[in-house]
Structure formats: C-alpha cells, structure tokens
C-alpha cells in the first residue's frame, strides 16, 4: 500500500526575507558585492531574476506575499493593515497542515496583523535577526537545535533598510563600492553560516526581498558620489521633536520635511552640471518625503532563490514572476494542496521543471510616504512593458516603459504609444474588477498652514544643527 501525502515526511522550510533587497545588486552588470554563498545557491538551485513585488513598501508587499493575493484584496491600504479580509495567511495555512512555526522578525504592530503570533519560539520571534550580533547568534543556535519537524523558520532581516550602516569587517572596497553593496556582502557571509546549519536534502530554502531600494550613491567613470544618509541627523531631529508637547505633534512631521527639503536642494546643486541619466538622478535624489512614489524597478524588482528538495540545480529563470506566486510554489514543492480560497498567485513549479508558463502579469501599487500631498500610483508590469498612473485619475502621472529596449526606465513613452497605454489600462481595470482601492486607506498628512511661532521654532533648532 502506497503512503498517502499526509503520511509522507514533509520537507522543512527556511524562508529568508531580506528587506529592501534589489535584484540588480545580486546579479547582472550592476553587481559589485562579494557573494560566494548566493552564487552557490544559483549553481545548486534556482534563481528567478525577475521577481516583482506588489509594492515599494513592506506592508503592502507582505500582505500580498503571505496571502497570495493582490494587496487591494486583503484589506491592506497605505502602509498599515486594517485587517486581512477573508484571507488566511500562508503561514497559518502551513501550520494547519502540520508545520511548526519558528520566527525571527522585526517587531511591528502592522506585521503582527499579517503574521500569526503563535510561533513555537514566541518569546524570541519578534526581535530581529541582528546579523553578527548576539541576537543573530540566537537565530543560528535555534537552527542548530532540535526543532519539531516539519518546521518552517522565517527570518526577516532589515539590514539593507534605511539607514544603512557600514558593516563591521566589510569596509574594504572588494566587498562593494558603497554601504549597500558592502551590506549585501555581509549578508552573504551570514547566509553561509545559516546554510551550514540546515540539511539541504530535507530543507527547502527560499530567499527573497519584500521590495527594492533607492541607493543614493553613484560610481561612474571619474564620478564618485555618495549621498547615503547614515541616519545620524535623523536621530538628532527625532530627539528634538520628542521634546514637543502632544499638541505640537504635526511639528515632528514638519521638522522631518524641512530637513528633507534642505537635503534635496543641496544634492540637486551638487549634480546640476553633471551629465547623468534619469535613473541615476532619481537614485541620487530619492527621499522618503518625495510626493511622487513611482514604481521603478529599483523599488519593486527583487531576487528570488530556491534550493532544496525538488529544485533542480543551476536554473536561472528570466521570465517575470511575482511575490504572490512564492507560497503557492512552496505548497506544491512540499506536497500540500493549495488554499481553497481564491488567490491570484500561481505555483511556479512548471518553471522549475523547465516547462513554459503563460505571462504572469504583476499588479503594483505605491505606498505613500510621509508627505503633505502624496501622489499614489498603481499599475502593471509584463515581461515587455511597465505601466503605472495616478491611483485616482488614469489621465495623470501616466508612465509607460519598454523594458526590453529601456531596462533602466529612462524614457517614458506614454505619449508616443497611446494604444499600448490603452491596452495596459484595460488589463489593469480587469485585475481591479470592481474592488475598491479606498477601503481601509490611511494616509498621513501635515497641516500646510502651521503657525509662524511653530515654524520659527523649527528653524531655530535646525540652525543649532548647522543649517542656514
């Protein structure tokens, strides 16, 4: 008698989520980091080099990743979650199928809404992996301990998220030209220690990012520009703003915006006469307070690695896939039927078997920053084109890029190819299919008419810090 699927021993699952992880910084001509362990996974597993996130912000992205649905179907709006609507998290789903959950993640109230808090290591789950720290060692020790099988261990490391520090022991130029690239090298070293703790014959390892990142540095020919903010000034401003009484709460936001505007003007002046391409300019000038949250690949294209049982060696898959496809794929690999509820993601297992799949069109939505008048955009990405526009008005902020001929998205061709714009808009509307984009939306605004007294107070504090 053949054993049933329920009787078979399921593979363990190690899921590494690297915050702000850009695909072009791990593969291709823009890679400068030293990554022997990521390279090992490429050689001995599968690498998807065009995995697309649902958003440029963590919460929208994670809502899609852990539900397998487009984020507008989950109840997630803006950067906060109201409640997952008729949606079971894949972590909860896997737990219901016998998996023991372990975790190591940054503490976040919004994250707790997406991820069930009932982990086997509850007391240690919501901290951070803290690579190279005591907390990181706890994680490594946990992987070396006798966890109940089958287990799913999820790690969410935020070392690539702003502000990025220069990692200890990785300052040499061989590890990268800036702090972001050096941090990728440091993560790779940590990854090697993690891989030593797991048995790849019975453990499926999945590595991806929640979204990408702008990197405010540029090394090009004779140019060496580094605008990366280490966060020191931001911390000082935070200390000042924390002294404000509660009724002056809007000043915290105003102070942040004032500092950001000063910073941007200084950067614009420094690069004014340089012959830079559009993607280079936006990388150098992007700030958290930018009114326009545009969905360029720097922010939404992430790496996706898989290695372990049922994953063939040496596969590089260039077809576009989506983060919403990740957990349906995991379910098929470990032999669990997918969720009964309707999802938008599909299993990528045919690609792992070198079989063709149809186009996997990605829905995208920007997350509003802390700005006075945010411009939020939605759109879609195919293998050939990217299209996005204003969330509320399809005639505003229209962008169309030919990704095959313009991979850096330097040339907006929306005005030239009206028919393509119309076709992409039709696809977008069919994906939305009557869903409201406003449900649960929480936007943060600041009063544009702050009093003169308060404004002077802000300017006085800025002058103390050296600003004029």
pLDDT values of the chain reduced to their tens digit, one per residue, 468 residues: 333 444 458 999 999 999 999 999 999 999 999 999 999 999 999 999 999 999 998 888 998 999 999 988 887 765 454 555 667 789 989 999 999 998 887 665 556 566 666 788 765 655 555 665 555 676 777 777 778 899 999 888 888 887 777 778 898 999 998 889 999 999 999 999 999 989 999 999 999 999 999 988 888 878 888 887 655 555 565 566 566 666 666 666 777 777 778 888 999 999 998 999 999 999 999 877 777 789 999 999 999 999 999 999 889 999 999 999 999 999 999 999 888 788 999 999 999 999 999 999 999 999 876 666 678 899 999 999 999 999 889 999 999 999 999 999 999 999 999 999 999 999 999 999 877 665 433 333 333 344 444 445 545 554 554 444
Q: Dump pLDDT digits (tens) for 49-104.
A: 999 999 998 888 998 999 999 988 887 765 454 555 667 789 989 999 999 998 88
Helix axes 278-285, 249-271, angle to 10 degrees: 140
What does the pLDDT read at residue 76?
A: 72
What does the pLDDT read at residue 353?
A: 94
Distance separating alpha carbons of residues 335 and 90, to the nearest angstrom: 14
CATH of 224-295+364-460, one of 1.10.287.130, 3.40.50.620, 3.30.1120.10, 3.40.50.10860: 3.30.1120.10
What does the pLDDT read at residue 440?
A: 36
Distance separating alpha carbons of residues 83 and 104, to the nearest angstrom: 22
What does the pLDDT read at residue 456?
A: 55
| CA atoms within 13 Å, Cβ hemisphere of 105 | 27
In the chain, domain spans = 12-214+296-358, 224-295+364-460
Is the domain spanning 12-214+296-358 CATH 3.40.720.10? The answer is: yes
What does the pLDDT read at residue 441?
A: 37
What does the pLDDT read at residue 339?
A: 83
Residue 248, CA distances (Å) to 139, 241, 454 in order: 41, 9, 8
Secondary structure, 3-state, the chain: CCCCCCCCCCCEEEEEEECCCCHHHCCCCCCCCCCHHHHHHHHHCEEEEEEECCECCHHHHHHHHHHCCCHHHCCEECCEECCCCCCCCHHHHHHHCCCEEEEEEECCHHHHHHCCCCCCCHHHHEECCCCCCHHHHHHHHHHCCCCCCCEEEEEEECCCCCCCCCCCCCCCHHHCCCHHHHHHHHHHHHHHHHHHCCCCCCEEEEEEECCCCCCCEEEECCEEEECCCCCHHHHHHHHHHCCCCHHHHHHHHHHHHHHHHHHHHHHHHHHCCCCCCHHHHHHHHCCCCCCEECCCHHHHEEEEEEECCCCCCCEEECCCEEHHHHHHHHHHHHCCCCCCCCCCCCCCHHHHCCCCCCCCCEEEECCCCCCCCCEEEEEEECCCEEEEEECCCCCCCCEEEECCCCCCCCCCCCCCCHHHHHHHHHHHHHHHCCCCCCCCCCCCCCCCCCCHHHHHHHHHHHHHCCCC
What does the pLDDT read at residue 246?
A: 65
What does the pLDDT read at residue 244?
A: 61
Question: With contact defined as beta carbons under 8 Å apart, do 68 and 327 qualify?
Answer: yes
What does the pLDDT read at residue 114?
A: 65
Q: Dump pLDDT digits (tens) for 418-463.
A: 999 999 999 999 999 877 665 433 333 333 344 444 445 545 554 5
What does the pLDDT read at residue 115?
A: 67
């Amino acid at each position: 008698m053949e054993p049933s699927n329920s009787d078979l021993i399921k593979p363990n699952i190690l899921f590494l989520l690297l915050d702000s992880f850009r695909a072009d910084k791990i593969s291709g001509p823009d890679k400068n980091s030293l990554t022997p362990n990521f390279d090992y996974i490429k050689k001995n597993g599968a690498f998807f080099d065009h995995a697309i996130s649902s958003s440029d912000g963590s919460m929208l992205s994670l809502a899609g990743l852990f539900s397998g649905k487009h984020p507008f179907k989950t109840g997630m709006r803006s950067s906060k979650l109201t409640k997952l609507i008729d949606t079971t998290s894949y972590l909860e789903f896997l737990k219901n199928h016998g998996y023991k959950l372990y975790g190591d993640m940054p503490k976040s109230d919004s994250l707790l809404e997406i991820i069930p808090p009932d982990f086997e290591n509850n007391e240690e789950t919501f901290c951070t992996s803290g690579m190279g720290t005591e907390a990181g060692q706890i994680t490594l020790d946990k992987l070396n301990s006798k966890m109940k099988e089958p287990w799913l261990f999820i790690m969410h490391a935020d070392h690539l998220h702003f502000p990025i520090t220069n990692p200890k022991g990785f300052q040499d130029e061989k590890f990268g030209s800036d702090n972001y690239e050096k941090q990728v090298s440091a993560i790779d070293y940590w990854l090697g220690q993690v891989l030593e703790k797991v048995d790849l014959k019975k453990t499926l390892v999945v590595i991806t990012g929640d979204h990408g990142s702008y990197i405010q540095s540029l090394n090009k020919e004779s140019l060496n520009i580094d605008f990366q903010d280490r966060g020191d000034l931001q911390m000082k401003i935070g200390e000042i703003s924390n002294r404000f009484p509660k009724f002056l709460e809007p000043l915290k936001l105003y102070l942040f915006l004032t500092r950001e505007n000063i910073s941007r003007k200084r950067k614009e002046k420094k690069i004014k006469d340089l012959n830079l391409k559009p993607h280079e300019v936006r990388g150098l000038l992007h700030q958290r307070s930018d009114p326009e949250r545009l969905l360029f690949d720097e922010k939404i294209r992430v790496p996706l690695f898989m290695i372990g049982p049922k994953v063939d060696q040496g596969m590089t898959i260039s077809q576009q896939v989506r983060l919403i496809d990740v957990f349906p794929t995991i379910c098929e690999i470990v032999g669990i039927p997918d969720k009964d509820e309707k999802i938008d993601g599909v299993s990528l297992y045919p690609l792992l078997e070198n079989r063709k799949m149809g186009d996997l069109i990605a829905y995208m939505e920007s997350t509003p920053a802390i700005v006075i008048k945010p411009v939020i955009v939605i759109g879609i990405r195919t293998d050939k084109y990217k299209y996005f526009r204003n969330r509320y008005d399809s005639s505003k902020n229209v962008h169309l890029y030919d990704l095959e001929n313009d991979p850096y998205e330097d040339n907006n061709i929306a005005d030239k190819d009206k028919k393509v714009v119309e076709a992409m808009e039709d696809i977008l509307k069919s994906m939305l299919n009557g869903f409201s984009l406003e449900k649960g939306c929480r936007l943060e605004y600041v009063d544009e008419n702050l009093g003169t007294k308060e404004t002077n107070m802000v300017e006085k504090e800025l002058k103390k810090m050296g600003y004029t």
